[in-house]
Amino acid sequence: MAPETPSAPSKNPTQPEEQGKTRPDQPPNLSTYFKPLLDVVFLFLPGNARDIFQKGLLKPLIFLVFVVAILPLLMAFLAGFWLKGLGNIDVAVIKNLRLAYLEVLQDGFSFEEVASRSNARLDYFQWFEADLQPGAKTFKEFRISIQPRQKAAITYKTVTYKADTPNCSLPEEEIDLISVFLGEQLIETLPQQTNSNHTFEIGKSWWARNMPKFDSDEVVQRLSFKLTNEAKKLPQCGRVHVEGSVSVFKDLVSS
């Protein structure tokens, strides 16, 4: 038995493909010319696709594709378009509405969690290295830029104390060597460490605890290292070396 094709004579006058046919008394339209081409295409269509055409399901299929595939992209595009536009409007109400909307999206889609799994959102990376000397150079400051609530991390590769001259002999007691300050705030003190990659995280919980100590409108511009009071008493013939890096991320943590 030959397979049924759309061009085969139909016994059912209500079939959709019949609806589009032209009567002999009407002038030929565009579909008249395309019909033979479509018939050829149908010959090569797999069984399911032929069924869709024969049962008149083409329109519902196009609607489904639009709702499932095109509409979500269109909505996201329109949302992004309007949010971008609203961001340029300097009206407090609109600003707050936009921010509230963005926070819902951020929490809903777990942007923070996804971003924290990679360093794709790194804003900048800065290396620091300093030699401090008891009785001489007890302080070193580095220029940085961290917005209040901006996520950052300070990683220490080395904090160590070494003799600077052959006549020097260092005490061997373990003491805290340096105090680390972010702006004016002491954030931690560190003993000797080598290849430790000890990291101080400035994240959501840190900002929640320490935000009151910072001006919410002012960028933190200084990372500084000071010898501790104990280290200041060490022999002046030695030096304390500190080196590491600051990673500042684009993320602003929510309160």
Partner 1 sequence: MTALRYIFACVTLLLAGSVANAAWWVLDPSHSFNDAAGKPIKATSLTIDMKAANLQVLSVPFELKASLGSAEVSLRSFAAHASKQPRYGNKEWIAVNGGFSSYRVDVPLGLLVVNGKVYSPLVKEKTRTAYAASDSEFGKLRWSGVLCQFKGNNSWDVIAATRYQPGLCQQALQAGPVPVEPNSKVGISPAEATREKPYKRTIICLMNDTRMRTVVTQETQLFPLAQWLSKAESGRGLGCRVALNLSGDSSSGIAIRSPGNAPINFIGEGSFPIPTALLFEKK
Contact residues for partner 1 (CB under 8 A)?
129, 157-158, 160-173, 192-196, 239, 241, 243
Please tell me whether residue 153 adopts helix, strand or coil conformation: strand
Closest separation in Å from C-beta 156 to partner 1: 12
Nearest residue (CB) to partner 1, 108 versus 166: 166
CB of 72 to partner 1, least distance (A): 47
Helix-, strand-, coil-residue percentages of the chain, each rounded to 5: 35, 30, 30
* Number of neighbouring beta carbons within 10 Å of residue 89: 10
Cβ proximity to partner 1: between 39 and 131 the closer is 131
List Cα–Cα distances, 182 to 13, 144, 154, 202, 220, in angstroms. Answer: 83, 9, 10, 10, 7
Query: Whose Cβ is closer to partner 1: residue 126's or residue 196's?
Result: 196
CB-wise, 146 or 231, nearer to partner 1?
Answer: 231
Nearest-approach distance from CB 101 to partner 1, in angstroms:
46
Instruction: Give the number of other Cβ atoms within 10 Å of residue 97's Cβ.
Output: 12
In whole angstroms, the minimum distance from the beta carbon of 170 to partner 1 comes to: 5
Shortest spacing between CB 154 and partner 1, in angstroms: 17
Residues 94/86, Cβ–Cβ less than 8 Å? yes
Beta strands of 6-135 (E only): which ranges?
122-132
Shortest gap between Cβ of 201 and partner 1 (angstroms)? Answer: 20
Q: How far is CA 101 from CA 54, 116, 124, 156, 162, in A?
A: 46, 21, 27, 38, 55
Question: Which lies closer to partner 1 via its Cβ, residue 161 or residue 249?
Answer: 161
Query: Least distance in Å: CB of 193 to partner 1?
Result: 8
Considering beta carbons, is residue 112 or 230 the nearer one to partner 1?
Answer: 230
Q: Are strands 150-163 and 238-252 parallel, antiparallel or unpaired?
A: antiparallel
**48 torsion bin: left (phi>0), alpha (psi -120 to 50), beta (else):** alpha
Nearest Cα neighbor of 145 from 130, 131, 128, 125 is: 125
34 vs 127, beta carbon nearer partner 1: 127
